[in-house]
């Protein structure tokens, strides 16, 4: 189902699609072909990855995560697709998580040491990514994605600092804020009911289905794809991502971390998404016990980049800097970047000398871009 449009009839086994009858192909997810394997792989890319922390413990309770996807009607907060049982008269309005309550059980299992039964009525099942995360409904009824650091040191601070730096540079970026006594961070849901978040990976699968460099099809380190994505998203938007990643030293801009928003029913594009998932940046590679970290910033910040080429100093040459120079100069001349980084990490327990050194280093990268422009 796509909202209330019948897209296909499925016969589902324990963890696979046994038979598939396409009813309305124009409503298939972008990047999905007409075969059951393609659709099953799409469901797999969209759900919790097998390597997510605490997942194995939860599977002892719920069975396989693939079967949990089907038991939860395949509902998500990243699109408007779902699975309706063939003998059911359920409608989108009564089941979707954009407008209806959902359980916290799955999220608690994946973020904490929670035990006991698990109510699978949760969008957290169909939430991809390696970082521990869960969906919640806040006191005002807004859907929020809460992300924790897990084994990813200082992840929550990196997300917030990267957002604030991006905002200062005039980059279209998703807001993040610290929460839970600074243990986690959260961001708003990027879409609403009746919309789909479609990744660049999905779009590339549609345009060049035989081009897949990995099992998940992230299309890394191929400068040719820069031109394709500029055509799909607009050059200025793609360039804004590369500039932002250059400044905050983000290493993880694979093509599932670039997306645009689609009307699920009309199939028309609405807008590019704000830039999201920026935690693999800034302090990610810091060893807090390295007593030379403050004077060796250049040795531990990440230089590798994605998705077109690596390192950052090579990938940035794809960019036309001229539209961004006014904001770059404004942020550099005011010293705003230094102030943002120092302020964001002040509760992180990272040595203030290390924070100050990183702030000056990032400030210097902005200056370097200005000179390049």
Tell me, yes or no, whether 160 lies in a domain: no
Residue predicted with more confidence, 370 or 288: 370
Whether residues 199 and 322 fall in one domain: yes
Number of other CB atoms surrounding residue 175 within 10 Å: 15
Domain end, chosen from 89, 124, 159, is at 124
For the chain, the domain total comes to 2
pTM above 0.85, yes or no: yes
Once rounded to an integer, what is the mean pLDDT over residues 13-21? Answer: 84
Whether residues 217 and 119 fall in one domain: no
pLDDT of residue 27: 97
Tell me, yes or no, whether 82 lies in a domain: yes
Whether residues 199 and 348 fall in one domain: yes
Q: Is the pLDDT of residue 84 over 70?
A: yes
pLDDT band at 224 (very low <50, low <70, confident <90, very high): confident
Q: Is the pLDDT of residue 217 over 80?
A: no
C-beta separation of 200 from 222 below 8 A: no
Q: Is the pLDDT of residue 66 over 50?
A: yes
Percent residues over pLDDT 90 in the chain = 65
pLDDT of residue 55: 64
Domain end, chosen from 78, 94, 124, is at 124
Q: Is the pLDDT of residue 222 over 90?
A: no
pLDDT of residue 370: 98
Give dist(CA 293, CA 282) in Å, integer.
13
Once rounded to an integer, what is the mean pLDDT over residues 53-59? Answer: 64
Tell me, yes or no, whether 337 lies in a domain: yes
Whether residues 95 and 213 fall in one domain: no
C-beta separation of 216 from 138 below 8 A: no
Tell me, yes or no, whether 91 lies in a domain: yes
pLDDT of residue 41: 87
pLDDT per residue as tens digits for the range 96-135: 999 999 988 777 777 776 666 677 788 888 888 878 889 9
Once rounded to an integer, what is the mean pLDDT over residues 37-52? Answer: 83
Residue with tokens 């991502």: 241
pLDDT band at 216 (very low <50, low <70, confident <90, very high): very low
pLDDT band at 215 (very low <50, low <70, confident <90, very high): very low
Whether residues 120 and 201 fall in one domain: no
Average pLDDT, the chain: 89
Tell me, yes or no, whether 293 lies in a domain: yes
Q: Is the pLDDT of residue 317 over 90?
A: yes
pLDDT of residue 203: 93
Number of other CB atoms surrounding residue 265 within 10 Å: 15
pLDDT per residue as tens digits for the range 155-196: 899 999 999 999 999 999 999 999 999 999 999 999 999 999
Q: Is the pLDDT of residue 14 over 80?
A: no
Domain end, chosen from 124, 151, 166, is at 124
Tell me, yes or no, whether 138 lies in a domain: no
Q: Using H for helix, E for strand and C for coil, what is the string for the chain? A: CECCECCEEEEECCCCEEEEEECCHHHCCCCCCCCHHHHHHHHHHHCCCCCCCCHHHHHHHHCCHHHHHHHCCCCCCCCCECCCCCCCCCCHHHHCCCCCCCCCHHHHHHHCCCCCCCCCCCHHHHCCCCCCEEEEECCCCCEEEEECCCCCCCHHHHHHHHHHHHHHCCCCECCCEEECCCCEEEEECCCCCCEEEEEHHHHHHHHCCCCCCCCCCCCCCCCHHHHHHHHHHCHHHHHHHHHHHHHHCCCCCCCCCCEEEEECCCCCEEEECCECCCCCCCCCCCCCCCCCHHHCHHHHCCCCCCCCCCCHHHHHHHCCCHHHHHHHHHHHHHCHHHHHHHHHHHHCCCCHHHHHHHHHHHHHHHHHHHHHC
pLDDT of residue 151: 59
Tell me, yes or no, whether 144 lies in a domain: no
Residue predicted with more confidence, 215 or 231: 231
Give the domain range for residue 14.
8-105+115-124
- Residue 311, preceding peptide bond in cis (omega within 30° of 0): yes
Structure tokens at 260: 């645009």
Instruction: Determine the length of the chain.
Output: 373
Whether residues 99 and 208 fall in one domain: no
Tell me, yes or no, whether 154 lies in a domain: no
pLDDT per residue as tens digits for the range 246-259: 999 999 999 999 99
Among 63-67, 129-133, 345-349, top mean pLDDT goes to 345-349
CATH for 274:
1.10.1070.20
């Amino acid at each position: 189902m796509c909202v209330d449009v019948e897209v296909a009839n499925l016969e589902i086994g324990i963890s696979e699609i046994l038979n598939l009858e396409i009813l309305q192909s124009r409503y298939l997810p972008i990047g999905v072909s007409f075969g059951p394997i393609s659709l099953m792989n799409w469901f797999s890319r969209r759900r919790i990855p097998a390597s997510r922390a605490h997942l194995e413990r939860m599977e002892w309770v719920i069975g396989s995560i693939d079967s949990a996807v089907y038991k939860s009607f395949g509902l998500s907060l990243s699109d408007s697709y779902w699975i309706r049982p063939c003998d059911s008269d359920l409608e989108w309005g009564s089941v979707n998580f954009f407008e209806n309550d959902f359980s916290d059980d799955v999220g608690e299992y994946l973020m904490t040491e929670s035990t006991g039964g698990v109510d699978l009525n949760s969008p957290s099942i169909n939430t991809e990514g390696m970082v521990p995360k869960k969906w919640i409904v806040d006191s005002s009824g807004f859907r929020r994605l809460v992300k924790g650091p897990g084994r990813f040191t200082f992840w929550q601070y990196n997300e917030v600092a990267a957002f604030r730096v991006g905002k200062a540079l005039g980059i279209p970026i998703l807001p993040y804020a610290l929460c839970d006594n600074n243990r986690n961070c959260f961001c708003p849901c990027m879409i609403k009911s009746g919309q789909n978040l479609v990744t660049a990976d999905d779009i590339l699968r549609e345009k060049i289905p035989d081009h897949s460099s990995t099992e998940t099809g992230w299309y890394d380190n191929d400068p040719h794809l820069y031109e394709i994505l500029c055509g799909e998203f607009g050059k200025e938007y793609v360039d804004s991502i590369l500039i932002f990643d250059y400044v905050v030293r983000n290493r993880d801009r694979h093509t599932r971390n670039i997306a645009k928003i689609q009307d699920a029913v009309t199939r028309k594009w609405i807008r590019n998404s704000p830039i999201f998932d920026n935690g693999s940046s800034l302090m990610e590679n810091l060893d807090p016990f390295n007593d030379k970290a403050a004077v060796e910033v250049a040795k531990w910040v990440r230089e590798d980049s994605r998705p077109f080429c690596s390192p950052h100093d090579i990938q940035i040459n794809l960019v036309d800097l001229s539209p961004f120079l006014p904001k770059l100069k404004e942020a550099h001349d005011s010293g705003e970047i230094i102030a943002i980084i120092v302020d964001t990490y002040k509760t992180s327990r990272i040595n203030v000398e290390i924070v100050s050194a990183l702030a000056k280093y990032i400030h210097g990268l902005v200056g370097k871009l200005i000179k390049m422009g």
